[in-house]
Amino acid sequence: MDAHPRPSDLDREVLVRCINECIECAAECTSCADADLAEPDVQDMVRCIRLCDDCSDICSTTARVLIRQTAGDLAVLRAATEACATACRVCGDECERHAHHHEHCRLCQESCRRCADACEALLAVIG
């Protein structure tokens, strides 16, 4: 981003943290949904899979929207970041329910929490 000819005015540190968390959370959710499929109690993990799938898609898209610095629109950035914060909160809550018996859910929950926090911090900056 330091190499961008005209970066956005948003606080760089807050923005980069949010991008990194979105990228990591997208990967973590794809991985958790996949690990759920291999669990003997897959039947009980259906809601976790569904919410991880949604969260992965939303985090991936939000990362792309936030990476772009050129000619962006604050209303679009805000809406994408809000959707991401919501998806991460809901998915984190579901993963928390399974965190004590599935290590991948514990890791995914932590990633969802960090990403939701980073989204909230960015929303405070966007205003």
Cα–Cα distance, 97 to 84 (Å, whole number): 20
Cα–Cα distance, 32 to 37 (Å, whole number): 9
Cα–Cα distance, 33 to 107 (Å, whole number): 12
Of residues 55 and 121, the one with the C-beta less far from a copy of itself = 55
Closest separation in Å from C-beta 3 to a copy of itself: 4
Closest separation in Å from C-beta 124 to a copy of itself: 18
Cα–Cα distance, 14 to 45 (Å, whole number): 33
Q: Is 98 exposed, middle or buried (0-12, 13-18, 19+ CB in 10 A)?
A: buried
CB 11 within 8 A of CB 125: yes
Closest separation in Å from C-beta 47 to a copy of itself: 4
Of residues 36 and 121, the one with the C-beta less far from a copy of itself = 36
Which residues of the chain form contacts with a copy of itself (CB under 8 A)? 1-6, 19, 23, 27, 30-31, 34-35, 37-40, 42-43, 46-47, 49-51, 53-58, 60-61, 63-65, 67-73, 75-76, 78-80, 82-83, 86-87, 90, 102-104, 106-107
Of residues 104 and 121, the one with the C-beta less far from a copy of itself = 104
Closest separation in Å from C-beta 110 to a copy of itself: 12
Radius of gyration over every alpha carbon of the chain, rounded to an integer in angstroms:
15
